[in-house]
Amino acid sequence: MPTSRRVGRASIRLQVLSVGAVGLLGAMLGGGAAWVGLTQAADAARQVSVALTTEGQLMALSEVGGSVIAGVTAVQRDTLAEGGARAAAPGSAGVTQYTAGLQRARELASRVDASALPPESQQRLASATTAVQEADADARRAFEMVARGDATSVRQGSAILAREVTPRLEVFRSEGAQLTSAAAATAAQAVADERAAQMRALSVMLGAVAVVGGLFVGMAWWVSGRISRSLGEVRTSVRALARGDLRVECVPRTKDEVGDIAAAVEQAVCG
């Protein structure tokens, strides 16, 4: 009989431990699912950051393109008003504006992460970069010609600025505007994806909580119900014995402490 009680006590502990094990397993599975959801949300947030950064860089690049064109236009305007030697001199207002804008454009273009752009935008960025490089080579040649001051050089340099430099800079500005629009659409999609990822992560976590809670409560309900039923039968038998009813039967239905008590009652009645 002592052996039976030891087995019984171990059996009840096993039932209680099984409830805890189910809860722990459910928590681990739920935590893993939640981690996956949070990781996806974090990846989406990083994509939003990259998309917004790229959009800002391309927007600035497009705006700088307008400044570069304005510098060329200023040189052309001042050439008519003041003469080529002053208008195209290295320290003139138009050349200074052009040079500063071009340097800024190169800096911004070098900062853009082309790998973060779709293929079409990568082609546009390459086209814009090529256009501004070609325009700069022609512009410097035109500035030198205008700065000579003689009528022929001024006329030829002005023609280069009007026919070759300005159209290429317009291509640069146009491509920049298209890149900005594409980047804005990409950023908007990234924001939408981030929100969707956050909702999925929230749904996964809530689902994990529901599943874990359901498993734990279900297991606890089953174990407690099993023990309660056995205890209820023993209690009924003991009350009958207290009234002097020796016909009562107390058959052990479980192999735990409650079953040991039922067996002891049965032995006391039957001898």
| Arithmetic mean of pLDDT over the chain | 76
Question: What is the longest distance spanned by two Cα atoms in the chain?
Answer: 136
- Cα–Cα distance, 234 to 87 (Å, whole number): 111
The pLDDT of residue 80 is 75
Helical packing angle, 93-111 and 119-148, nearest 10°: 160
Per residue in 41-76, pLDDT tens?
Answer: 677 777 777 777 777 777 777 777 888 888 888 888
DSSP 12-59: HHHHHHHHHHHHHHHHHHHHHHHHHHHHHHHHHHHHHHHHHHHHHHHH
Fill in the amino acid letter for 114: A
Please state the length of the chain: 271
The pLDDT of residue 270 is 64
Indicate if the pLDDT at residue 96 is higher than 70: yes
Q: DSSP label at 164?
A: I
Residue with the larger pLDDT of the pair 10 and 218: 218
Q: Which two tokens stand for residue 240?
A: 């009958």
Beta-carbon count within 10 A of 161 CB: 25
Q: What is the CA radius of gyration of the chain?
A: 42
Indicate if the pLDDT at residue 10 is higher than 50: no
Closest CA to 160 of 190, 188, 140: 140
- Cα–Cα distance, 167 to 175 (Å, whole number): 12
The pLDDT of residue 33 is 67
Q: DSSP label at 256?
A: S
Q: Which two tokens stand for residue 120?
A: 């079409």
Rounded mean pLDDT, 100-115: 81
- Cα–Cα distance, 226 to 18 (Å, whole number): 14
- Cα–Cα distance, 163 to 144 (Å, whole number): 16
DSSP 96-138: HHHHHHHHHHHHHHHHS-GGGS-HHHHHHHHHHHHHHHHHHHH
Beta-carbon count within 10 A of 43 CB: 13
* Residue matched to tokens 């080579």: 137
The pLDDT of residue 6 is 42
- Cα–Cα distance, 212 to 217 (Å, whole number): 8
